[in-house]
Amino acid sequence: MTREEVKARIEEIGIFPGIRVSSADQALYAARTLYAAGIPIAEITMTVPGAINVISELAQTLPDMVVGAGTVLDKETAERCLDAGARFLTSTGLVLEVIGSAHKRGVVAIPGALTPTEVIAAWKAGADYVKIYPAAALGGDLYIRSLKLPLPQVSLIAAGGVNQQTATGFILAGATALGVGSELLPREAIRRHQEHRIHELARRFLSFVKEARGVA
C-alpha cells in the first residue's frame, strides 16, 4: 500500500483509532475487531507492551489494513516501527526526525501540534496530516474551525476529547479525520471481548462522519 493509498483510506474512513491498552493481546483483539467493524485503520501506540510486534503481526495477517505507530518520539523507534510494517507514524508533538524517517521510507507522517505556529512548522516539515491534541482542551470544534480559517491547506486530525457528542462538530469544523480512543474502544469492552459493543460504536462514529460530510 503506497503513501497515497494510505492517505486515501484515512480520508475515506475519517476515523483514526488510537489503541492504547495494557497488553499485546488486547491490542490485537482491538485492531481485529475494528477491522471487522468496518474501520481498517489502527494506531498502535508505543505505550502498548510489545507494540512493535503487534504492528508486525497485523501487517502480516491483515495486509489491507492501515496499521501504524503512535507516540513515536525518536528516529530509532521510528525505524523499528517501519521495519515492522507501519504505514504511518504519529507523534504527540512535532518530532522532525520522525517525519524524516517516514518520508525516507515513503509512509505517512502525522505529527502532533497545538498552536498555529506548531501547525505551520509541522506542515512546512512535510506532515501529511497534523494531529491537533488535545483538541477539546483548546476549545473543541471551535478551535479546529479557527485553525482552518487561515490554514485551509493543512489537513487536520482532531484528537483528544472526541466522543459521540463532539464528533459531528469536529468534522463540520473542517477536521479531515477524528482521532478516537476509549470512546470507540472502551477498556471494559476489550477486556470482556464485547465485539457487539465495539461494532455498534464503530457504526455510530462512521455514521457521524458520513452525516457531517453530507451536511458540509
Neighbouring C-beta atoms of residue 122, cutoff 10 Å? 26
Report the pLDDT value the prediction gives residue 216, as an integer from 0 to 100. 54
Cell matching residue 149:
480559517
Percentage of the chain exceeding pLDDT 90: 98
**Looking at the DSSP assignment, which residues form a beta bridge with residue 179?**
16, 159
pLDDT tens, residue by residue, 112-169? 999 999 999 999 999 999 999 999 998 999 999 999 999 999 999 999 999 999 999 9
Q: What's the grid cell of residue 210?
A: 458520513
The reported pLDDT for the residue numbered 147 is 98
Q: Residue 9: which CATH number?
A: 3.20.20.70
**pLDDT tens profile 17-72:** 999 999 999 999 999 999 999 999 999 999 999 999 999 999 999 999 999 999 99
Burial 139-175 (b: 16+ CB within 10 A, else e): ebbebbbebbeebeebbbbbbbbbbeebbbbbbbbbb
C-alpha to C-alpha distance for 66 and 1, rounded to whole angstroms: 8
Enclosing domain of residue 54: 3-215
pLDDT at res. 90: 98
Please give the tally of structural domains in the chain: 1
